[in-house]
Structures are given as structure tokens and as C-alpha cells.
């Protein structure tokens, strides 16, 4: 198959899967959140509410697309796109299964760097949306987003550095391979627990999800950076947020939970995709569970926690890991 056709085909399938995943993730989140709060959740559209995403989508399409006066038009319209695209292209380097059939570009040797870079770009959409909206709540949300993401990106980058050190490769395919010395203890979540914890926390902050959802804190900022967005433009932000949730879960699985590895993948390659999906769904449920549990942090505490706790711990973790690897301690080679 010519390479271009193959890549296009894979991308189309990936995007289709991601968009379906986004739609149903929003439903699952609402359902699970409801059950965690002793409620029922959406159950009117279709059997057990299964058509709810469709109903939501239709509703958003038919909403009037309002453009408030005084917005910075080009940036205002560009911002939602800038949120969705990085979320989608993050998946390019994530190996979703064993063998080249399930991988798009996961063997590029700067995979980890690409991840950090794309995650960094994603915040532009939010900041620009807040800035271009000509609304003080939106601007505050956008500013919070940029400060928060810059602070937590550091911790996240350093936790990825520890993983890269362990795998002695920045390619995500190699990182998965490095976690497969036969048993579950090979997963980096056991060999790099500190990095895993830091990645999990900073990922929540990057996604601006509870308890770090100050970017769109409803009670203070109405809807933060997306206050002035309605209809499909709002839907794009929504989509970006949920696709990024899936992408970050997939990254956590790749970096720390052994990626697509699992029993019998060598015999039945399709099982690897199943394992990967199960792990990603588990991470997503954990995120929803977190949202149901933890209250939003105060802004100064958020910054303090990022700079005074996470970053130093992440740096220390990288140094210790480097020493352990240099000394050839078993499990760190």
C-alpha cells in the first residue's frame, strides 16, 4: 500500500474512533458522575440515554452562532480550532496496539518531545479564546489557563524525562517495549511511582479538570475562556477537552501502564488494542472519580503546589533515576 494512502486511512479511522469516543465519553462521564452522586444521569434520549450525545450534538448544531460585539474576529474563530487540532494530533505518536498496523508514527525518535510540544500548543487555543472574547471572565480564564499550564508543564515534562531515561529512548514505541520484561512489575508505574504520580497530577492540571478546573470555574468565571462561545464553536471546545482527556489517558497508559502490552498479544495481535482500550477507559474512569471527589483548589495554592512541590520533586526524581541507572541498580537499567 502506498504510504500516503495508508497514513490517510489510519488517520481517518483514528479520528472517527476519537470523535465517537468523545461523544460517548461525555455520556459516560455524566452517567458515572451521576451514580457517584446518587443520581441517575441522562436516561431519556434513547434506551438508557444512549442517544444523548446525538441529541446534544443536534442541539448544538441548531443553536444560534452568536458572535459578540468587539471580539477579535480572526482569533476568536481560530481559537476553537487551536484547541481541537492539538488534541487530535497527539494521537499520531501513540502506539495503540502491537505492530505497525496499529501505529501511525509512534516510532519517531522524538515522540516524547513531540508530546510535550503539542501539549504546550494546546494552551494557545484557550488563552487566545479568552483574550479575543472581549470579556473579563473569559480573559481571566485564559490568563489562568496560561499560568497554570506553564507551571504544570514543567512537572509533566520532567516526569516524562524520567520515563525517557528508563527506556533510554524518546520513541513511544520503544517506551512500551521497555516495559515488557515479562510481568506486570515491568510497568513504569511500579518502577517510577513518583513520576507516575506527578504525571497524573499534572495531566489533570493540563486538562484543566477537577480539582484544577480554575480555567472554567463556573462559580467564579461563568464558563471561563468559553463564556462567549455558543453553538458549534462551544462544541469544538467541548470536543477538544474530551479528546484531550482520551489522549492524556492514552499517554499515561503508554508511559506508565505498559501501553498495549498484556498476555497473549504475540499470538493474537488484536488483543493488544483491547488491552490498550481497557487501560485507557480505566484511566478515564479514574479521572471522573477524581472529579466527583475533590473540590477545586484555590488559585494561589495551585501555583504554590506546582512550583514548590511538584517541580522540585520531579527534578529530584530525575536526578535519583539518573543515579540509579548509572549505578546499574536492578530494575533501572
Partner 1 sequence: MGLKDVLTRIPVGFLTVLKTVTRRPVTIQYPEQQKPMSARFRGRHHLKRYEDGLERCIGCALCAAACPADAIYVEAGENTNEERYSPGERYARVYEINMLRCIFCGYCEDACPTNAIVLEPIEFPTGYTRESMIYTKEMLLESPPINVPATPQRTPPGKYDRAILPFPPIDESQ
Closest CB 296 distance from partner 1, rounded Å:
14
Residue nearer to partner 1 on the CB measure, 117 or 312: 312
Closest CB 202 distance from partner 1, rounded Å:
16
Q: C-alpha grid cell for residue 74?
A: 480572526
289 binds partner 1 (CB under 8 A): yes
34 binds partner 1 (CB under 8 A): yes
Residue nearer to partner 1 on the CB measure, 35 or 333: 35
197 binds partner 1 (CB under 8 A): no
DSSP 3-state assignment of 180? coil
Q: How many residues bind partner 1 (CB under 8 A)?
A: 12
Cβ–Cβ < 8 Å for 294, 137:
no
293 binds partner 1 (CB under 8 A): yes
The string of DSSP codes covering 21-70 is HHHHHHHHHHHHHHHHTT-----SSSGGGTTHHHHHHHHHHHS-----TT
Closest CB 250 distance from partner 1, rounded Å:
23
Closest CB 241 distance from partner 1, rounded Å:
22
Residue nearer to partner 1 on the CB measure, 19 or 51: 51
Q: C-alpha grid cell for residue 72?
A: 477579535
Q: Is 232 exposed, middle or buried (0-12, 13-18, 19+ CB in 10 A)?
A: middle
285 binds partner 1 (CB under 8 A): no
Length of the chain: 333
Cβ–Cβ < 8 Å for 95, 176:
yes
User: What span, in angstroms and rounded, lies between the C-alpha atoms of 119 and 236?
Assistant: 17
Cβ–Cβ < 8 Å for 288, 187:
no
Residue nearer to partner 1 on the CB measure, 295 or 330: 295
Among 13, 35, 308, 312, binds partner 1 (CB under 8 A): 35
Among 23, 36, 121, 223, binds partner 1 (CB under 8 A): 36
Centroid of chain to Cα 26: 14
40 binds partner 1 (CB under 8 A): yes
Residue nearer to partner 1 on the CB measure, 264 or 289: 289
308 binds partner 1 (CB under 8 A): no
Closest CB 37 distance from partner 1, rounded Å:
7
Cβ–Cβ < 8 Å for 325, 332:
yes
Where does this chain bind partner 1 (CB under 8 A)?
34-40, 289-290, 292-294
Amino acid at each position: 500500500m502506498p504510504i500516503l494512502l495508508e497514513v490517510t486511512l489510519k488517520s481517518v479511522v483514528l479520528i472517527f474512533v476519537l470523535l465517537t469516543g468523545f461523544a460517548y465519553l461525555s455520556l459516560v462521564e455524566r452517567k458515572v458522575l451521576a451514580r457517584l452522586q446518587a443520581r441517575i444521569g441522562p436516561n431519556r434520549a434513547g434506551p438508557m440515554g444512549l442517544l444523548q450525545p446525538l441529541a446534544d450534538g443536534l442541539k448544538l448544531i441548531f443553536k444560534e452562532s452568536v458572535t459578540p460585539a468587539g471580539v477579535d474576529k480572526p482569533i476568536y474563530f481560530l481559537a476553537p480550532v487551536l484547541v481541537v487540532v492539538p488534541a487530535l494530533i497527539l494521537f499520531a505518536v501513540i502506539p495503540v496496539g502491537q505492530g505497525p498496523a496499529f501505529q501511525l508514527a509512534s516510532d519517531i525518535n522524538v515522540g516524547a518531545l513531540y508530546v510535550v510540544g503539542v501539549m504546550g500548543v494546546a494552551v494557545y487555543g484557550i488563552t487566545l479564546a479568552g483574550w479575543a472574547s472581549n470579556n473579563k471572565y473569559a480573559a481571566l480564564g485564559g490568563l489562568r489557563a496560561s499560568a497554570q499550564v506553564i507551571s504544570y508543564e514543567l512537572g509533566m515534562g520532567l516526569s516524562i524525562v524520567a520515563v525517557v531515561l528508563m527506556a533510554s529512548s524518546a520513541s513511544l514505541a520503544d517506551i512500551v517495549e521497555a516495559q515488557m520484561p515479562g510481568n506486570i512489575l515491568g510497568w513504569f508505574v511500579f518502577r517510577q511511582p513518583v513520576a507516575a504520580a506527578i504525571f497524573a497530577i499534572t495531566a489533570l492540571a493540563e486538562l484543566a479538570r477537577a480539582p484544577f478546573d480554575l480555567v472554567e470555574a463556573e462559580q467564579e468565571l461563568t464558563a471561563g475562556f468559553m463564556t462567549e462561545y455558543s453553538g458549534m464553536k462551544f462544541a469544538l471546545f467541548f470536543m477538544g477537552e474530551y479528546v484531550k482527556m482520551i489522549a492524556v489517558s492514552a499517554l499515561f497508559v503508554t508511559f506508565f501502564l505498559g501501553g498495549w502490552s498484556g498476555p497473549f498479544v504475540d499470538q493474537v495481535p488484536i488483543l493488544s488494542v483491547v488491552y490498550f482500550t481497557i487501560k485507557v477507559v480505566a484511566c478515564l474512569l479514574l479521572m471522573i472519580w477524581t472529579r466527583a471527589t475533590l473540590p477545586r483548589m484555590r488559585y494561589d495554592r495551585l501555583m504554590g503546589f506546582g512550583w514548590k512541590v511538584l517541580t522540585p520533586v520531579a527534578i529530584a526524581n530525575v536526578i535519583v533515576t539518573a543515579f540509579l541507572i548509572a549505578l546499574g541498580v536492578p530494575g533501572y537499567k
